[in-house]
Structure 1
Amino acid sequence: MLAELSSALIAEVERAAKLLGAKQHICILTGAGISAESGIPTFRDKQTGLWENYGAEDLATPEAFTRDPKLVWSWYQWRRRVVADKKPNPAHDALAQWQYHTQSSGQKVTLITQNVDDLHEQAGSTVTHLHGHLWRNRCSQCEIPYQNKSKGSYSSADSMDYSEALISCPHCDGYIRPDIVWFGEALPVEAWETAEEAAANCEVFISIGTSSLVYPAAGLAQLAKENGAEIIEINTNPTPNTIVDITLAEKAGMVMPLLIQRITAL
């Protein structure tokens, strides 16, 4: 792995590791880039197959579901099938290893994600989801979580029913929808409060695989900076952001294992 990284990047990883090893409160925000390394398409990727004429922004909205619930439900069932066999990559594994290490080191590492997949959980991490969960459903009207009587509450690809037939809520007869935050919807209150508190009280904020362009999540780094934190960005295409102190312009799967190896060795 080291042979694939430039000497300049390795030096920056060493600098980041020394900084992180000396701090107690770390907040990490992950975005689509970390899951893309596991083969999960991002919203910016061109749709394929039957969906190539649709834009994600035209389907992932409450208005689209109201207008054509069958279309939106079918698209999400397709996305679920695409994601079903994807596994954590070395970046997910490294973050889980770091969280495990903190049990004895006394460090507090709060992991926040904008992703709706469960790759962090599969790797063994404890994570707060800002944008919902791909493997959960709820009613579009009364918002009660939906549980399939034969399979219980969906929590993974293995327990998901991939039928494209619309489901009606047993409580109010509204249509069941994915438990995902769509464009124009508010973030879940508890998850956002956790993210804000972690960002405001951290000593280092790490952004991994996210463009820092989608608000309100993009404002977490700014909040951390305003409260004295140093900012590390890990992204193949770094954002032109003047608040970043250390930039690691490489895939997270390449950088994170080395970074965590250095941190846990301190």
Structure 2
Amino acid sequence: MGCVSSNLLNHEDELGQLTTSALGHHIVSLTSTTYGLLNTLDPPTTTTTPPPPSRFSIKPLRSEPPEIINSWELMEGLDTESFRFSPLPVPSKPFHKENSNPNRNPALKNPVSTLSDRFEKICPPNGEKKVVIYTTTLRGVRRTFEACNAVRAAFDAFGVQICERDVSMDSGFKEELRELLKGKESTVVPPRVFVKGFYIGGAEEMLKVVEEGLLGEVLQGLPRKVVGGVCEGCGDMRFLPCFRCNGSCKMVLHKQKQGNAVVVKCSDCNENGLVLCPLCS
């Protein structure tokens, strides 16, 4: 079988060597071919892989008898009179819906009394039964422009008609506002709000009235704005070019005696050559 020592021994010693190898240890060198033949003689071994353990194991719950609590034993020795409630007193006056809110201001029942008690009577021209707002559309001062938009949006939310007088488009409105608040405020900065002939104030006072929920009551009885309605004359711009001078602010007068022409300022329009719209003003 390819023994190393078999080539070195004589034929006479083969029997003795085999006898010795049977009793002791003998070193044998195996080639790849011999090792392959020996493996074929071994019986094949089959290995079985155990099944993977299950992820969830459900164990049966032990059924225990429910606990019974005797409430009479727990209440033994207690004073049963302490559990009796006294009947509610019968109200002397019937309950009305208007008294459901204790924080409701009683002055809201009469909007005129609310205006007279809280605000000063200062009525702009032709402002007894309307809302008059002195605003500006110039964006030079951002804070003033945004305050005018906030006041205008507050009235638009209630759908009431407003008479807006833009001081930046007509200097006459600026002088008019100064005369109304003469001696009241050092600087007159728009917006300024007047409702039914009462001076509400600026943007802060106006928004405070809105937060308190008084504006809806104060505006009762005023004409409402038509939803989607736009003035056919000015397109809600409230101003139109002067019909006499066509917005030039100048008029040419011809003198009959001297025969020459004289240019004068138009008396119908303002400094910007504009007039109020006759339909919506």
How high is the TM-score relative to the length of structure 2?
Answer: 0.22
Which structure has more RCO (C-alpha within 8 Å, separation ≥ 6)? Answer: 1
Higher helix share: 1
Say which one has the larger Rg: 2
TM-score normalised per structure 1? 0.23
